[in-house]
Chain A
């Protein structure tokens, strides 16, 4: 697997390891709901093959949950002189570069669990819907400092649309 694409010159800043908890709990809840549906129907109607569907779904979620720490470690960002660089994904890798001057607004979101762990999520919005850069798992103070810094940078490099 030496063919992975990479930008070796960039020193990535990683997100908080606590974010693993948020992600894992989220997947457990979601997985329980999704597997409960075929299980419930199988239990009620006695269709045996539905148990296999439920087991298959449970397995998929289990693998996803086991891989979560790796996936969270793969999320990285870096503030360069004139743009933000963001990466995520192991199997499906994605790198995005967003110039500061292109940022229209910066959002901070906090889910209930993330808030309990003192984490925030930072979202960049540009004029293009496809940009989709969301940095999860930042400590609250970091997120706010980062937002203020990004807004200031975006202001100083403002360009037309």
Chain B
């Protein structure tokens, strides 16, 4: 049943998905029904052999067995089973996909046919998800994200190795490379030695087991110096020092106050469900972020996470529309940061810690942040840029390369006027905000959609103005208020020009098109 790993899906022909697809999609529900039936059949079996044994409640199936409709029911189940199996088979049969040099195309549906095509040069990211159940069968779900709402092309499920190979192939086609398959063969080896079809069952199980226990990130895929992994202590600390924890503490405090003030224990009733809810929240976030890793591969940034159900996503270069580094007040002492991005697609897969998949680093120290920024913004790795990024993160403000708000803006920005400022780097705009919640927003100039300059009556009296950069929708809204109005106009002019210049020279969306043919 295993397709040979050497099989290529990118030949422009129509291919089928993994034969176990219907079972894997049904997943848990299928097992639950099966379990119910087996459990009840066991009782019937015992009764058949031992005989009698009445007393106790009759199970639905036992009751059915004893009624005169039994054979009718058996027939019904049999017919139902055949219909389901034929239906599944047909849906599998009709669900085909192909990958040509230009598009990814999926056809599905038995009665209502559905055909979805995505252009390869519009791909915003490729996600490979392996739910726990599917992992047991060595299957994976591949999702190709193109720009737009609900614009994902899902290939679920594929054989695990084939999914990895397919991602490499799709990215190669999307990169606009003229270099033939040389690069690919090198990476295909990383998928592990191909399992021969005639391999003994034990060998197969062993291979599966190895795959299951293998590290989340294949060590051959990315240079180790570009890899950022999650520190467990930091992960626990960040979960405890979150806004949610403050809410939990306040809730517990409220209950204690309620009990001591009124003397009645009625308030304790709310405690148990709250306890279950909070602990499951913490545990799920913890397990999901546990094996988090972010790494640079030749075809973009790869973000992976998950303990039992794993997921990893590749964001090709030039797909990140803005980056924001945040530090909530509670994380200040520990020196932790969070990194978010804006991207043009919305993936159905959740990110690490059950957050939106726009959070690419749930928690990390300054060193991690610098590594991640170097991965997502490879143009800003020279020394001057790194220094400016660093002062953008930690500086208290003043004369540090940023143009900050004037002193008169302190009526509006009570604490942060010293730090509220902007800086231009070749290829990117930096916006720095906040003293209590520190924040640095980086917008690649080549991804800016438009620029706006605003001034209302209050700002006019103060000779201030604000600048907004428009990018695709996401968690980040890059804007900067209360700048000196003359500087703001100058800034507006500069970035309007920079946006034109960068977008006309930018080729990162076809990141390998510059490579010479081999």
Contact of B449 among A1, A3, A92, A102 (CB under 8 A): A102
A95/B457 contact (C-beta < 8 A), A128-B471, A159-B503 known: no
Contact of B455 among A92, A99, A157, A159 (CB under 8 A): A92
Interchain CB contact under 8 A, B472 and A5 = no
A161–B453 Cα distance when bound, in Å, is 22
A131–B447 Cα distance when bound, in Å, is 14
Q: Flag whether A33 is at the interface (Cβ < 8 A).
A: no
How far, in Å, is B378 (CB) from chain A's closest CB? 16
A97–B471 Cα distance when bound, in Å, is 13
Q: Flag whether B159 is at the interface (Cβ < 8 A).
A: no
Interchain CB contact under 8 A, B449 and A126 = yes
Per-position binary interface string of chain A over residues 114-131, scored 1 when its CB falls under 8 Å from any chain B CB and 0 otherwise: 000000000000111111
Interchain CB contact under 8 A, B453 and A94 = yes
Interchain CB contact under 8 A, A98 and B450 = yes
Per-position binary interface string of chain A over residues 4-21, scored 1 when its CB falls under 8 Å from any chain B CB and 0 otherwise: 111100000000000000
Contact of B503 among A93, A102, A129 (CB under 8 A): A102
Q: Flag whether B318 is at the interface (Cβ < 8 A).
A: yes
Q: Flag whether B234 is at the interface (Cβ < 8 A).
A: no
Contact of B457 among A82, A83, A91, A160 (CB under 8 A): A91
5 residue pairs, one from A and one from B, having the closest CB atoms: A160-B509, A128-B449, A128-B470, A97-B496, A95-B453
Interchain CB contact under 8 A, A128 and B450 = yes
Interchain CB contact under 8 A, A130 and B454 = no
Q: Flag whether B451 is at the interface (Cβ < 8 A).
A: yes
A32–B463 Cα distance when bound, in Å, is 37
Interchain CB contact under 8 A, B460 and A4 = yes
Task: Specify the chain B residue showing the minimal Cβ separation from A85.
Answer: B496
CB-CB contacts below 8 Å: A14-43 with B: none
- Residues of chain A touching chain B, judged by Cβ–Cβ distance below 8 Å, are 1, 3-7, 82-83, 85, 91-99, 101-102, 126-131, 133, 157, 159-161
Of the listed stretches B6-14, B305-313, B487-495, chain A binds: B487-495
Interchain CB contact under 8 A, B456 and A161 = no
- Residues of chain B touching chain A, judged by Cβ–Cβ distance below 8 Å, are 121-122, 124, 147, 318, 344, 446-457, 460-461, 463, 465, 468, 470-473, 477, 485, 488-489, 492-493, 496, 499-500, 503-504, 506, 508-510
A159/B472 contact (C-beta < 8 A), A3-B463, A95-B453, A96-B451 known: no
Interchain CB contact under 8 A, A5 and B485 = yes
Which chain B residues lie closer than 8 Å to A91 at the CB level? 456-457
Interchain CB contact under 8 A, B450 and A126 = yes
Q: Could you count the A-B residue pairs with CB atoms below 8 Å apart for me: how many are there?
A: 106
A93–B460 Cα distance when bound, in Å, is 10
Task: Specify the chain A residue showing the minimal Cβ separation from B147.
Answer: A161
A129/B452 contact (C-beta < 8 A), A99-B499, A159-B504 known: no
How far, in Å, is A95 (CB) from chain B's closest CB? 4
How far, in Å, is A122 (CB) from chain B's closest CB? 15
A3–B122 Cα distance when bound, in Å, is 44
Interchain CB contact under 8 A, B500 and A99 = yes
Which chain A residues lie closer than 8 Å to B468 at the CB level? 130
Interchain CB contact under 8 A, A160 and B318 = yes
How far, in Å, is B6 (CB) from chain A's closest CB? 33
How far, in Å, is B452 (CB) from chain A's closest CB? 5
Which chain A residues lie closer than 8 Å to B449 at the CB level? 98, 102, 126-128, 131
Interchain CB contact under 8 A, B499 and A7 = no
How far, in Å, is B205 (CB) from chain A's closest CB? 45
A130/B470 contact (C-beta < 8 A), A4-B460, A161-B147, A161-B344 known: yes
Interchain CB contact under 8 A, B455 and A126 = no
Which chain A residues lie closer than 8 Å to B461 at the CB level? 3
Interchain CB contact under 8 A, B450 and A102 = yes
A133–B451 Cα distance when bound, in Å, is 11
A4–B500 Cα distance when bound, in Å, is 26
